[in-house]
């Protein structure tokens, strides 16, 4: 196994795993990052359940731990290959425009005009391979060829891949938001991995709670329901640039209808498979 990047130890780095051991619990339970030692990947809390991720079998450890908790019971236990968790994909370096996305345990040769983004996806959405993430990366590259948004708001940051890309392309301050604690934990690691801690701040919270944050550009790769709620708020669309993704072809017209009353025009549109990424620019004329 390759040595972790400088400044990150094995105990604080989500490295590639052969197997994932996943324990589903009946309640949302706050769990500290160091609760179970180096084999503990993290805890995913969602919809009234907790999912504990380990790189090795921890049946007995989890059983003893639960015996001392006031709430939460073991509902199920799953074992799966890390490759299967990543949708059957072998994570290898790939390019989107001049951005080179490279898992930290791999090597990548880059040209002088390319930008390297090291990524440790852990078990969080945002490897860059999904059409919605690829669309946003392409949008970021194109935007920064035409303009230089200094302040960026990244809602639903996941692994933090878009926040890191924005910082490396020229943003001076990026506020990256996610409601999931494990995503926040992973994004912060990727910020460190890429040396952009001075420009990227990662916080935990709901998208709606940060809709009014000041920014030149907002990135929203989210579920339709969240996007639909956000685009009905004038303050959300007051930025110079808005990138919306996570939309299927059949959902775009409904979103566009909500945008008609605001001074925004479609500057660019990326399509891949069934997915659409919209780049909106404020009309200042």
Determine, yes or no, domain membership for 100. Answer: no
Q: What is the pLDDT of residues 240-263, one digit of tens each?
A: 999 999 999 999 999 988 887 777
Give which of 249, 251, 104 is closest to 189, Cα–Cα: 104
- 51 and 142 assigned to the same domain: no
Q: Locate all alpha helices (DSSP H) within the chain, ordered by sequence.
A: 59-67, 82-85, 131-146, 161-169, 181-193, 224-230, 252-259
Q: What is the mean pLDDT of residues 183-205?
A: 96
- 186 and 138 assigned to the same domain: yes
Sheet holding 173-178, edge to edge: 200-204, 173-178, 151-155, 217-221, 241-248, 275-282, 264-272
- 175 and 233 assigned to the same domain: yes
Determine, yes or no, domain membership for 107. Answer: no
- 200 and 148 assigned to the same domain: yes
Query: Which structural domain, as residue segments, surrounds residue 29?
Result: 17-85
- 234 and 139 assigned to the same domain: yes
Answer with the one of 27, 62, 85 that is the final residue of a domain: 85
Answer with the one of 85, 112, 142 that is the final residue of a domain: 85
- 263 and 199 assigned to the same domain: yes
Specify the CATH number for the domain of residue 249.
3.40.50.150
Determine, yes or no, domain membership for 261. Answer: yes
Taking the complete model, does pTM exceed 0.85, yes or no? yes
- 68 and 178 assigned to the same domain: no
- 65 and 133 assigned to the same domain: no
- 185 and 254 assigned to the same domain: yes
Determine, yes or no, domain membership for 105. Answer: no
pLDDT band at 115 (very low <50, low <70, confident <90, very high): very high
Q: What is the pLDDT of residues 11-35, one digit of tens each?
A: 444 456 889 999 999 999 989 888 9
The total of structural domains in the chain comes to 2
Determine, yes or no, domain membership for 22. Answer: yes
- 154 and 233 assigned to the same domain: yes
Determine, yes or no, domain membership for 1. Answer: no
- 58 and 169 assigned to the same domain: no
Q: What is the pLDDT of residues 35-70, one digit of tens each?
A: 999 899 999 998 899 999 999 999 999 999 999 998
CB 212 within 8 A of CB 240: no
CA distances (Å), origin 102, targets 84, 109, 118, 220: 19, 10, 5, 23
Give which of 96, 108, 129 is closest to 2, Cα–Cα: 108
Give which of 202, 236, 222, 246 is closest to 156, Cα–Cα: 222
Determine, yes or no, domain membership for 112. Answer: no
- 75 and 209 assigned to the same domain: no
Answer with the one of 38, 57, 85 that is the final residue of a domain: 85
Given this model, what pLDDT does residue 30 score? Answer: 87
Give which of 271, 280, 267 is closest to 251, Cα–Cα: 271
Determine, yes or no, domain membership for 3. Answer: no
């Amino acid at each position: 196994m390759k040595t972790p990047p400088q400044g990150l130890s094995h105990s604080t780095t989500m490295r590639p795993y052969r197997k994932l051991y996943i324990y589903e619990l009946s309640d949302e339970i706050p769990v500290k990052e160091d609760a179970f030692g180096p084999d503990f990947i993290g805890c995913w809390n969602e919809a009234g359940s907790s999912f504990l991720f380990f790189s090795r079998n921890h049946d007995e450890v989890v059983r003893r731990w639960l015996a001392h908790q006031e709430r939460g019971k073991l509902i199920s236990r799953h074992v799966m290959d890390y490759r299967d968790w990543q949708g059957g994909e072998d994570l290898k370096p790939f390019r989107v425009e001049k951005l080179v996305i490279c898992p930290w345990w791999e090597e990548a040769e880059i040209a002088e005009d390319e930008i390297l983004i090291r990524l440790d996806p852990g078990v969080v959405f945002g490897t860059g391979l999904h059409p919605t993430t690829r669309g946003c990366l392409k949008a970021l590259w194109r935007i920064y060829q035409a303009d230089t948004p200094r302040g960026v708001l990244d809602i639903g940051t996941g692994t933090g891949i878009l926040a890191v890309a924005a910082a490396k392309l020229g943003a001076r301050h990026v506020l990256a938001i996610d409601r999931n604690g494990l995503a926040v934990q992973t994004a912060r690691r990727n910020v460190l991995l890429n040396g952009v801690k001075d420009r990227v701040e990662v916080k935990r919270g709901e998208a709606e709670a940060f809709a009014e944050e000041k920014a030149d550009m907002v990135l929203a790769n989210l579920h339709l329901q969240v996007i639909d709620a956000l685009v009905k708020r004038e303050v959300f669309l007051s930025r110079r640039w808005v990138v919306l993704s996570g939309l299927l072809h059949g959902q775009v017209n409904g979103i566009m209808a909500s945008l008609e009353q605001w001074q925004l025009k479609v500057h660019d549109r990326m399509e891949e498979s069934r997915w659409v990424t919209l780049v909106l620019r404020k009309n200042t004329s």
